[in-house]
Amino acid sequence: MRKTAHSIGDLRSAARRRLPRMVFDFLEGGALDELTLRRNRQQLDDQMLRQRVLFDATHADTRTSVLGTSVDLPLVVSPMGLLTVCHPEADVAIARAAAQAGSVFMHSPWSGCSLDEVVAVAPGRVWAQIAFWGDPRETARHVDRARSLGVDTLVIAGDVGVSSKRDRDLRHGTGMPPKPPLADVIDTALHPGWVLRWLTGRPMTWGNYAIDGRRIRMREMERWMEVNENPSASWEDVARLRREWQGKVVIKGVMSREDARLAVDHGVDGVFVSNHGGRQFDGQRATIEALPLIVDEVDGRAAVIMDGGIRRGADIVSALALGADVAAAGRPFAFGLSAGGQSGAARAFEVLRDELVTAMGFVGAATVDDLVPSVLDRTDVADPVRANA
C-alpha cells in the first residue's frame, strides 16, 4: 500500500480493482445526475492558491483543535454507513487509522460496527452521529449508549429526512438484501478476494440496533428503515437534544445561511457544511461555495466543519482559508479501507497530511492559523488586484 498509492486517486483505483462494480458504485456514486457530486470537485479545482517564495518551510505545524479535541491535522473522518460492504474491518479499521493519525472518527448510525467497538479502538477520538428515528426510543438508546461510553460529541444527521435516489444503486439492485442482475452476479464472482471476505467476515447488518436482543438480519433491514425513517424530524428535536445532552452538538448537512442561523440559535457547538458528498440532494451547490456564507453567518459562535470532494492537501488549505476550522472527508478513507483495510485508511491520512504540509510551504503558512483568505488567489473576482491586495 505504502509504495503503490501516491494519491487518493491511486487508492480509488485500487478500490475499483478490488471491489465488485456494484459495491464500488455504492461507494463512489451520488444522487440522480451526480451534478452536485461533480460540482464539489469542480469548485475545489477552481480554488487557486498564491505561491510565496523564500519562506522558511522547515517546521510546518499542522496541529489544531476542534470542539475541544486536539488533532494532529485539520482533517477528520465523515460518518459513513455500511462500510462492511467494502471490507469486514470496516469502521474499526478507519477508527484505528484516525486515532493513529491524531484525528477524529465520526461513527455513523448506519454503521455495521457498534459504537462500543470503535470507541474501544479509538478512545477519545470518536464522535457519534445520531439520527432522529421514527421510534424515538431508538434515538434515546443510542444517545444513552454514547453517554455511557464517554463520547463527548454528537453529530446530528440533518439531511436524511427525505431519502435520495441513486441511479447507480437502482441499476445494480443494491439494497438490503441486494437483488443484483446477472451481470453483477458474474462481476462479483470475478472478485474472489472480496467474496471470501464477505462470506467469512463481519455479517452484514447494523451495529447499533437490535430486534429482540439480536442483531438485525439483512432481510429485516429495509423494514426497520421503513419504520424508522423520519421525515418529520425537526428543530424541536434539536432543541430537546440540546436540553438533554451536556456534551457538544454538531449539525451535519447545513448548506444555507438560514439553517446556519437556526443551528446557532439552537445552541449547537458545531455547524457541519455538507451535501452528503452529493449522495442526497442533487442540483445544489458545492460545499466550498456554501462555506463562506455559512462562516459569515456563524460569525465565530460555533465551530465550522466542511466536507465534500476533499482529495488533495491543497483542498484542506482552501477549506481552512475560507473559514472552516477543520475539513472532513469520507470516500478517501473508504477507498483506502477497500484497497487495504487499516493500512489503506492510514495511507489516506499520510497522503493528505504530506500534501497539506507541501501546500502550506508553498502558500507561506507555518501553522494552521496562517491559513487565512489571503492564501487564496482570487482570480475569480471582478477586481483581482484589489481582492489580493
Ligand X SMILES: Cc1cc2nc3c(=O)[nH]c(=O)nc-3n(C[C@H](O)[C@H](O)[C@H](O)COP(=O)(O)O)c2cc1C
Feature table: binding site for FMN: 79-81, 108, 129, 252, 274, 307-311, 330-331
Q: d(Cα 79, Cα 331) in Å, to the nearest integer? A: 10
| CB-CB contact of 14 with 2 (8 Å) | no
By CB under 6 A, tell whether 307 contacts ligand X.
yes
Query: Applying CB under 6 A, does 76 fall inside the site for ligand X?
Result: no
Nearest-approach distance from CB 158 to ligand X, in angstroms: 8
Q: Does 309 bind ligand X (CB under 6 A)?
A: yes
What residues form the annotated binding site? 79-81, 108, 129, 166, 252, 274, 276, 279, 307-311, 330-331
Q: Report d(CA 116, CA 43) in Å as an integer.
A: 37
User: CA–CA separation, 258 vs 291, rounded Å?
Assistant: 13
Q: How far is the CB of 48 from ligand X (least distance, A)?
A: 20
Q: Which one from 87, 107, 191, 276 is the annotated catalytic residue?
A: 276
Residue 81 in contact with ligand X, rule: CB under 6 A = yes
Residue nearest to ligand X as judged by C-beta position: 330
Select from 50, 40, 61 the least CA-distant residue to 255.
40
Binding to ligand X by residue 22, rule CB under 6 A? Answer: no
Give the x/- contact pattern for ligand X in 245-264, rule: CB under 6 A: -------x------------
Q: Which is nearer to ligand X, 142 or 379 (CB)?
A: 142
Single residue of 1, 14, 27, 241 touching ligand X by CB under 6 A: 27
Tell me the closest approach of the beta carbon of residue 334 to ligand X, in angstroms: 6
Contact with ligand X (CB under 6 A) among 62, 108, 230, 284: 108
CB of 184 vs ligand X, minimal distance in Å: 18
Active site residue 276: yes
376 binds ligand X (CB under 6 A): no
- Which residues are part of the catalytic machinery? 276
Residues in contact with ligand X by the rule CB under 6 A: 27, 40, 78-81, 108, 110, 129, 157, 252, 274, 276-277, 279, 307-310, 329-331, 334
